[in-house]
Amino acid sequence: MALLEAAAHVFAESGFEAASTRDIVTAAGLQQGALYHYYPGGKPELAEHVVELGFHMYAAPGSEPTHPNGLYLQMVVDASIALGYRTPRDKFAQAAARLATDQDQRTFGVLWNAYIPRVTAILQQSSEHGELLQGVRPAETAITWVEAFVGADLRYRKRLAEMPEAISRLNQTIVRGIATPETLVLLDASVERGALLYELEEEARVASDSTETVA
Residues 93 and 202: their CA atoms lie apart, in Å, by 14
DSSP 66-122: -STT--HHHHHHHHHHHHHHHGGG-HHHHHHHHHHT-TTSTTTTHHHHHHHHHHHHH
In sequence order, what are the beta bridge partners of 179? 132
Residues 165 and 159: their CA atoms lie apart, in Å, by 11
Q: Going residue by residue through the chain (215 aa), what tens digit of pLDDT does each one get?
A: 789 999 999 999 999 999 999 999 999 999 888 889 899 999 999 999 999 888 776 656 667 888 999 999 999 999 999 999 999 999 999 999 999 999 888 889 888 888 999 999 999 999 999 999 999 999 999 999 999 999 999 999 999 999 999 999 999 999 999 999 999 999 999 999 999 999 988 888 787 666 555 55
Q: What is the pLDDT of residue 54?
A: 85
201 Cα distance to chain centroid: 12
Q: What is the pLDDT of residue 213?
A: 52
Q: What is the pLDDT of residue 124?
A: 97
Q: What is the pLDDT of residue 62?
A: 66
Q: What is the pLDDT of residue 201?
A: 86
Pick the closest to residue 177 from 70, 73, 84, 71 (CA basis): 73
Q: Does the pTM of the predicted model rise above 0.85?
A: yes
